[in-house]
Structure formats: C-alpha cells, structure tokens
Chains A and B, each alone.
Chain A
C-alpha cells in the first residue's frame, strides 16, 4: 500500500515539474519576442517617466532572472497578474470562465461516453449488419466535421430558422446573479445550455464509440465468449459483461478528452458566445491582453497535464498487468 502512495506522490511531483517547464517556456517565449511589453499595450503620447513608472509597477525594471523567479513564484501562489483589459486579477477571471466551460463540457463528455459505451457495444454486437454500417458512417461524418461548424449549423437551423433556441450566450441579459450557482440555477440558463450541450455531446460521441466498438469486437473474438455462448448464456448478459470488460480504453480516452476539451472548444464557445475560458483567450488575443492570455494558457496546459497524469494512474490501477510491470 505504501508503494501506491509513493507512486501518487511521484506523479504529483511530475505534474508540478511539467507545469514548471510550461511556465518557463511561456515566460521566455514572451520575453524573447517582446523585450518591452509596455510598447505594445500602451498607446502613443506616454512620457518616458510614465513608462518607467508603469514598468516599475509591473516589475519590468528588474533584471530578467529576478523577473523570472517572481513570475514563477507568483504563478504557483495563484497570482497571475492583472488583466490589461478588465483591470482585475487574472485569476478571478480564469476561475469564473473555467466554471462556465466546465458546466457545459463535463456533462457533455460524460453523457457522450455513457452513450458511446452503450452504442459502441451495440453496434459491435451487430457487426456487419446495416445498423452497424449506417452508424459507423454517421459517426465518421461527425468525426470529420469541425466542431465549431457543427455549432454554426445547429444555430443556423434551430435559432435563426426555427427560432426555438437563443442565438448564444449563457443567460438573457440583463440578469442578476450574485454567484455562479445563482447564475446556473435558473430555467433561462437551461434554455441557453441545451443546444450547445447537445451539439457537444454528439461531437464527443464519435471517438469513444469507435473505440468501444473496436474494443468490443476484440473482446467478442476471445475464446471465453464462445464458451459462454456455447453453454447457453443469455445474449443480453454476454453484451453487458463484455461491455464492462471493454471499458478500459474508454476510460483512458475519457480522461484525455476532458483535458484537451478545455483548450479545444475555443471556436465552439466563440460561435455560441459562451463566456467560457476558450472564448476568453480569444478575447485576450484580440485585445493583446498578455497577462490574461498567459494565465489562461497556463491553466489550460495544467488541465491537460492533470488529466493525462490521472489517466496514467487510473490505467495502472485498473489494469493489473501495468501495475505489476
């Protein structure tokens, strides 16, 4: 048991190290390309004294290595600087937008994987039949389409043409909400949420269904299935058991998907005007808000690192062959 905790500890240390490398990478990427960030975000007509003052305020008058150390230390403390655009700490914006993204991404991914688990095993069982072929073709079409474009088409059809869903956003303005829970515990939120949620679910369905199908087909080819069939085991029970047996690759994929989805839904959130973290980095890009963009990039990278590591640990926990090896 103790070796298990050591393993977890090692994993956490590796997460910290990877995150540290990302921060370093980001710091030098910016500083080498833009030695003086004040030149970009400040308009003309600023006196040299004012510029020095602002440099001092942001700590830009310090030597590079001091800046680097304070940057890393502050980041680990959760201080990502002040947003140029919003004039508030980046961390508060990032936290708020992260929740907005999570409230739509995580339910969609979970739903998609549950459906994929069922659908994948179903079409694997009916391999070679019409229902399998048509499902695979549709899944491949969805898999080939850009996610943001699926969103645009859905909005065009349901919101512009039929006008049964709102054109975007999280709530109909103006609204008052003291906190996140108050914002989402409202029928109006659900009304805005349902269309992007459905599109995301359909989109995230494609990959795991194909994986589940492959895994099921592999499992169904094993000898013990033949034995079960031969001794007259009910078909439904065989599917259920095989599906449970084949869940491992699906879990792996699920973990990876969640990590990547946070950074991968920028275009989708933009199309739906969803005030999520992806849309925020695009806003930062359009307004040249460096601190905000850096903060979001770091958090999105952290999401990927954590999910990849979790998948690693989950995999080794669930598959004893790997745990032993």
Chain B
C-alpha cells in the first residue's frame, strides 16, 4: 500500500485535475496546521469589548450619540462636567473634550497604587479640576485646560489623607472634599487648611455621596439614606426603602435630596421628611442629578431609561427616548434643557464581520471564527480518516473473504450487505443519538456501520475477478494455502482499488460527518466544520452573519472537492469503470 504512493504521485503529476486536487488538499492541510501555529488564538476564548457611548439628548426625538471602543481597559470611574468627560481605570485616566472629541490619556504614578475614585469640577470656562484618590491614601489634584489645540494637564498637588477613599466629591468650589473610606466612614478634607477628619461612621455600604456643607448626604445598600453634619458629627439615618440606593444628589438651598437605586426605587428627602416612590416601570436607576433648568431631578438607568423626578410633588415622569438603548451609567443635565448621558459596559464581541483582528469574523458567542475553522479542518479530516480506516478494515476483510471463498460464506455476507443497504444513514444516526445521546462516537459508529457495505461490495467483485485469473488458479494448483494466496496474491491485486475507495470514503465521511454534526448528533464540545455550522444555525447567527455560514461550508466543499479531483484522475489509472458514487 505504501509502496504504491510514489507511483500514484507520478501518475498524478501527469493529470492536471488530480494534480490541482492534490495541491488544494495539501494547501488546506498546511493552512490548518501552519495557520494554527501562526494564529495563536484559542477557539474557546470569548472576546469582549469595552464600549463607551455618549448621548447628547436635545429632546425626546433628537439624540446624537458617539461610540468609543476602548480596548483592554475596564472603565471603573467616570465623571462628566459640561464640556468634559473623565474616566479612570487602574493607573490611568482618559480625558475627553466633549466639544471637539479630543482625548488625552494621563498615566498615573504607580507609587500611589491603584485609582480608587475620581471627581471633576469646572473651575473656569475651560479649566477643570480633577480629583483622584488612590489606594495608598493619597489625593491627587490635576488641572486640565481645554484651551488651544491640545488638552494640557498638570498635577498641582498631592495630599496624604491616610484613608482609602472609595468615593470622593468636591464641594465649595473645590476647596473642600468629602469622601467615604472602605469602612464607610465619612471623611471631611479641607484642602486649604489641610484639615482631615473622620466625621462619622454610617454603618452601611455607601454607594453615593453629595455635599451641602455642613451637611453631607449619603445613600447606599439596604435603602439607607443618611445625613451627616460635618461640624457636629451628628448622623440622621433614614430607611425609606429596602432596595439598594445607587446615587444621590442634592438641592442645597431647599434642603432637598433625591436618591435612586435598584428596581427603579426613588427616595426623596425634604426638610427632615422622607418618602419613597417605587416606579414599577423602570429597572435599575444608576444616576440622578439636579437640573437647574428644569427645576427637577433627572435620573438615568437601565436600557436608556430617563426619568424626571419632582421632589415637591413626589411624582415622576418618564421621558420616551427611543434612540438610547444601553444602560445610562451617568448623566448631566445642561442649561438648555439638554442632557448628556454616558453608558459604558463590557459587551461580548458577537458577530463582528471579518477584520484585521478577526480575519474570519466572530461567532454569536464572541469567539474567533478563524481559530475555530483552523481546528475544524483538522478535526473533520481526522474524523474522516478514522472512519475511512475503520470502513476499509471491515469492508476489505469481508469483501476479501466473501469474494474468495464464495459459497455459503458469500451468501451470508451478501445478505448482510443487502440488509445494510436498506438502512438510511441520517435517520439511523439520529436513532443512535436518541438512544446513546449525541457524541463523536455516535457519529463515527453510525457512518462506519453504514458505509462498509459499499466497500465490501466493491472489493468482493474485484476479488471474484482476481480469483478466477489463471495466475491464482495455478498458484492454488501448486498447493499454496488460502492464507498465502490471499495475502500474497489476491490482496495486493485489490490494493489499488482499496486505496481509491479509501479516498472516496474519506470524502464521503467528511460530508456525512458535517451533515450529522449540523443536525446536532455529534459532540457539542468539539469544533468540526459541521459543528460550527450547527452553532450558527441554533443561535440564529447564520441569517445575520454571512461569514458564520459561508466560510465553514466553503472549506467542507473545498476539502471534499479536492479529494474527488484526486480520485477522478486515479480512477482513470486504476479502474476506468468505478464510479465515485455511493
């Protein structure tokens, strides 16, 4: 069998179709093997994108949005002021100029540890102050100037506070900072006099803080709302609601505060009176701000919900903004009744068309299609090879024995073969999968059990022909044993045909395997080309994303086609009458 390969290659060289077929097959295998070595992406890896969206809401029907994709950065902290947006993560902050979309990244000193919170205030028309708190208990103050072509940023001072602050808020034109440390102590910091004092411990997980000096309003887990007096350290605790409150803002001159939180809960504080509203129509609300222009509070939340909250009438009104569909994490009402809202989050990089990062695009689950196809080609070819070996082992042996011995043995095997011919492959595989559950074994067993019949039939008829030649008859007359005749004379004569059939079975098995895997009969963990198509079907991705359908199918077709092309030219050499059909 091995010895005939150089001869086959020599023959193939003279036939153009066979040569092209062989070249195609080798290139596909090389593509898969070398491709996997170069393109080092795990097919199971799910890719994510940090997507950042800024909406400029003029009114309910007039919304502009800007999407910024941020690679390899988790947005942890964010703040907006008119004209500027700052977000920070780990050891850097990004400053975005909302009028000109200039952006600037500032690397922070790693001596201070990770960033734990930030706050921005507008000090002048184009001058902003950025307050950052760090893991090591240090506050950094940066000054950002949006004048001219570039954003200029300078570090003005660092203050050691020795508290790890998870929340900070600037008050009193930036001269005072109030913060919450990780033990939920309220910290008061006067930047001018450098007085730092822990005012009180509120005893609940604080999520948000707002200052109306000397009062500091905090809201947090369990629906708690507390008002802390920075001078007397007196704490007034309220629990208007049981849902976690996520954000609070105040209207200082009227002693009014509004906090919003999970499941659309709203808590309203007014002059010592507390009340609550459960909206029932919106999900989580993430941010609330007072709008001077509307004389109302504006809250934003999940799926682009925007509410107007009137703390005096204790009512709310939901704005109908269709254009905003992602979660509003932070918002800012502007003077002209417009609102800037920002959403950010980590999203699965699902169904992205082919690009430089993903040459074959991504799947529904945000996985790389090229990596899957590279593995799929190898798995499909391997399964084809395994099936072909099994089929050839069974079919060759049965064909040989049945054709050589004839008589009762032949009649028995022929009737078994005829019985096997009455079983349709795909339904049979499904029956096996119903009984033994889907797996790779089910696929291999089903295909093997139903194709050896053809191999056995082809080999049998060839063996009958060979056995009747004068050569075999004379060897028999010389007294050679059956085993010797079979091994030394019959088998080698049938070998070229078996080789041809071997190739045909590989092609057929690859097609059958992909069909069965497509139906979900195969193993769900493996990546075969049929499985990739099955996933595209069951997730509905194939209708939206052509690459998930087209690319794996093209590879199945190319593999099978190249094998058929080789077979066709070999057929001319070995057996002009054999058809490639099953």
Q: Which of A's residues lie within 8 Å of B, judged by CB?
A: 18, 21-22, 26, 29-30, 33-34, 140-141, 143-149, 152-153, 155-156, 160, 167, 207, 210-211, 214, 253, 260, 262-264, 266-267, 270-271, 278, 281-282, 284-286, 288, 290, 293-294, 296-297, 300-301, 303-305, 308
Report if B434 contacts A (CB, 8 A): yes
A167 to B537, CA, bound (A): 13
Instruction: Give the shortest distance, in Å, between A303 (CB) and chain B (any CB).
Output: 8
A-facing mask of B418-461, CB < 8 A → 1, else 0?
11011111111011011110000000000000000000000000
Q: Which of B's residues lie within 8 Å of A, judged by CB?
A: 418-419, 421-428, 430-431, 433-436, 507, 511, 514-515, 518-521, 530, 533, 537, 542-543, 546, 549-550, 553, 556-558, 560-561, 564-565, 568, 579-581
Instruction: Give the shortest distance, in Å, between B545 (CB) and chain A (any CB).
Output: 10
User: Which residue from B425, B426, B431, B549 sits with its C-beta under 8 Å from A293?
Assistant: B431
A140-B561 contact in complex given A153-B553, A267-B519, C-beta closer than 8 Å = yes
Which chain A residues border B565 with CB–CB below 8 Å? 140
Report the nearest B residue to A26, measured CB to CB.
Answer: B431
A253 to B561, CA, bound (A): 21
Interface contact B515-A300, CB-CB below 8 Å: no
Given A144-B564, A160-B543, 14 additional A-B pairs, CB 8 A: A33-B436, A140-B564, A143-B564, A144-B561, A148-B533, A149-B533, A152-B533, A210-B580, A211-B581, A267-B519, A271-B537, A293-B434, A300-B424, A301-B424
Instruction: Give the shortest distance, in Å, between A62 (CB) and chain B (any CB).
Output: 21
A297-B553 contact in complex given A29-B435, A144-B561, A214-B579, C-beta closer than 8 Å = no
Interface contact B515-A146, CB-CB below 8 Å: yes
Instruction: Give the shortest distance, in Å, between A57 (CB) and chain B (any CB).
Output: 21
User: Which residue from A22, A26, A145 sits with its C-beta under 8 Å from B553?
Assistant: A145
Which chain A residues border B579 with CB–CB below 8 Å? 210-211, 214
Give 17 CB contacts A-B under 8 Å.
A18-B418, A29-B431, A144-B564, A145-B560, A146-B557, A149-B553, A149-B557, A156-B543, A160-B543, A211-B581, A214-B579, A263-B426, A271-B537, A286-B520, A301-B427, A304-B421, A304-B423
Report the nearest A residue to B565, measured CB to CB.
Answer: A140
Which chain B residues border A22 with CB–CB below 8 Å? 422-423
Interface contact A304-B422, CB-CB below 8 Å: yes
Interface contact B430-A285, CB-CB below 8 Å: yes
Interface contact A301-B423, CB-CB below 8 Å: yes
Which chain A residues border B423 with CB–CB below 8 Å? 22, 301, 304
Report the nearest A residue to B432, measured CB to CB.
Answer: A29
Instruction: Give the shortest distance, in Å, between A138 (CB) and chain B (any CB).
Output: 11
Interface contact B581-A282, CB-CB below 8 Å: no
Tell me if B's interface is mostly helix, strand, loop or mixed: helix
Which chain B residues border A281 with CB–CB below 8 Å? 427, 430
Which chain B residues border A270 with CB–CB below 8 Å? 519, 537
User: Which residue from A21, A33, A167, A285 sits with its C-beta under 8 Å from B419?
Assistant: A21
A149-B519 contact in complex given A144-B557, A263-B426, C-beta closer than 8 Å = no
User: Which residue from A207, A214, A264 sits with its C-beta under 8 Å from B426?
Assistant: A264
Report the nearest B residue to A206, measured CB to CB.
Answer: B581
Interface contact B556-A146, CB-CB below 8 Å: yes
Which chain B residues border A304 with CB–CB below 8 Å? 421-424
Interface contact A145-B424, CB-CB below 8 Å: no
Report the nearest A residue to B418, measured CB to CB.
Answer: A18
User: Closest 10 interchain pairs by CB?
Assistant: A263-B424, A144-B561, A144-B560, A149-B553, A145-B557, A305-B422, A33-B435, A263-B427, A300-B427, A266-B426
A147 to B553, CA, bound (A): 10
A143 to B582, CA, bound (A): 12
A214 to B543, CA, bound (A): 39
Instruction: Give the shortest distance, in Å, between B236 (CB) and chain A (any CB).
Output: 53
Interface contact B434-A146, CB-CB below 8 Å: no
Interface contact B543-A167, CB-CB below 8 Å: yes
Report the nearest B residue to A259, measured CB to CB.
Answer: B424
User: Which residue from A156, A167, A263 sits with its C-beta under 8 Å from B425?
Assistant: A263
Report the nearest B residue to A145, measured CB to CB.
Answer: B557
Which chain A residues border B425 with CB–CB below 8 Å? 263-264
A282 to B507, CA, bound (A): 25
Which chain A residues border B518 with CB–CB below 8 Å? 146, 148, 267
Interface contact B549-A156, CB-CB below 8 Å: yes
A142 to B492, CA, bound (A): 35
Interface contact B511-A146, CB-CB below 8 Å: yes
Interface contact B542-A156, CB-CB below 8 Å: yes
Interface contact B426-A141, CB-CB below 8 Å: no
Instruction: Give the shortest distance, in Å, between A299 (CB) and chain B (any CB).
Output: 9
Which chain B residues border A286 with CB–CB below 8 Å? 520
Instruction: Give the shortest distance, in Å, between A151 (CB) and chain B (any CB).
Output: 10
A51 to B537, CA, bound (A): 37
Which chain A residues border B507 with CB–CB below 8 Å? 144
A207 to B553, CA, bound (A): 20
Which chain A residues border B436 with CB–CB below 8 Å? 33
A260-B424 contact in complex given A144-B564, A149-B533, A281-B430, C-beta closer than 8 Å = yes
Which chain A residues border B427 with CB–CB below 8 Å? 263, 266, 278, 281, 296-297, 300-301
Instruction: Give the shortest distance, in Å, between B345 (CB) and chain A (any CB).
Output: 29
Interface contact A156-B434, CB-CB below 8 Å: no
Which chain B residues border A160 with CB–CB below 8 Å? 543
Which chain B residues border A21 with CB–CB below 8 Å? 419
Instruction: Give the shortest distance, in Å, between A110 (CB) and chain B (any CB).
Output: 19
Interface contact A148-B431, CB-CB below 8 Å: no
A145 to B564, CA, bound (A): 11
Interface contact A149-B543, CB-CB below 8 Å: no
Interface contact B430-A282, CB-CB below 8 Å: yes
Instruction: Give the shortest distance, in Å, between A80 (CB) and chain B (any CB).
Output: 14
Instruction: Give the shortest distance, in Å, between A93 (CB) and chain B (any CB).
Output: 15
Interface contact A156-B422, CB-CB below 8 Å: no
Instruction: Give the shortest distance, in Å, between B492 (CB) and chain A (any CB).
Output: 28
Which chain B residues border A141 with CB–CB below 8 Å? 557, 561
Interface contact B581-A262, CB-CB below 8 Å: no
A263 to B427, CA, bound (A): 6
